[in-house]
Structure 1
């Protein structure tokens, strides 16, 4: 799944009454990438090789110089399109649960950040099976706002994440 829970132990036991500034739980979400970087390199190499095969027939002729720019442009076009897709997939959402607050930071591919935080005890996780923007629309509600979480996840992943979030919030309250 394109998310990962990062739990950090507190400095002092909960029974001690000491307030820790360290997050008690952290969730990182990112869009799924069906083509890893290694696959990207392999795909570009295979595409270039396959486009070069017909050029063998025209080696040593003037026709080679007529076809070569179009072959290079085709490979560069595929490379540019896949690179742009990778850049847009650099979106990340980080949900941090501290002793009394929950915070969500959404980092866009261009580096812009959107932040939302609320009191941990008044936060609720909502999963709308239908009627939302997508099936199993997942939101977190608190302090008068409701924000979407994991818009890039699949229906099943949003459903699983909603249940995990509810369990974590119950355990940490």
Structure 2
């Protein structure tokens, strides 16, 4: 699961780390781009030594560059982390966005409410934390099953 409790359930401070699923690591991306480039060059092999090769080569390189650029952009967009800290009387959520800026939310743990919107949110089973007059999302990048499990985990952790 792309979230993990990093402290014992009976510890005074519980930490929950959340991150988006990383299905394509850097080595896999490099292998995919190289394989795509190789497969695009196979049809151009008969054109070696002809002027037509120089007409097709820029478009082949542009296609590979576009693929690489799209994968890099996707990789950078997945650099989101959320850290929920539950101490004796405080619940604090810190979200680090892909560009490096952080958003913080803090509330008295006793008054924190976990809400799950079955269909009304931007994604199914949308989870929010509410307290101190604000409502913040948590784990919107998780899959549907992971958000359902997270909702149960958050309710259990906040009741302690």
**Same fold, TM-score > 0.5, yes or no:** yes
Taking a change above 3 Å as real, the CA distance of residues 140 and 100 of structure 1, as seen in their structure-2 partners, is: same
Instruction: Encode CA deviations 1:2-42: one digit per residue, 9 max, x unaligned.
Output: 211111699xxx8xxxxxxxx71111111223323222111
SS of the aligned residue for 1:164 comes to helix
Are 1:152 and 2:141 an aligned pair? yes
Superposition misfits of 4+ residues, deviation over 3 angstroms:
none
Taking only aligned residues, the RMSD between alpha carbons, in angstroms, comes to: 1.9
Are 1:120 and 2:109 an aligned pair? yes
- Larger radius of gyration between Structure 1 and Structure 2: 1
Aligned residue-pair number: 160
TM-score, normalised via structure 2 length: 0.90
| CA distance in 1 between partners of 2:118 and 2:45 (Å) | 57
Are 1:4 and 2:20 an aligned pair? no
Structure 1 counterpart of 2:92: 103
Structural mapping, 1:75-114, within 5 Å? 75-114=64-103
TM-score, normalised via structure 1 length: 0.84
Are 1:137 and 2:126 an aligned pair? yes
Q: Provide structure 1 residue ranges, at least 5 long, that are not aligned to the other structure.
A: 15-22
**10, 35, 40: which one pairs with 2:29?**
40
| CA distance in 2 between partners of 1:75 and 1:133 (Å) | 33
Structure 1 counterpart of 2:47: 58
Q: Provide structure 2 residue ranges, at least 5 long, that are not aligned to the other structure.
A: none
Structure 2 counterpart of 1:169: 158
Instruction: Encode CA deviations 1:38-93: one digit per residue, 9 max, x unaligned.
Output: 22111101101001112211112222222211111110010001100111111111
**19, 42, 53: which one pairs with 1:30?**
19
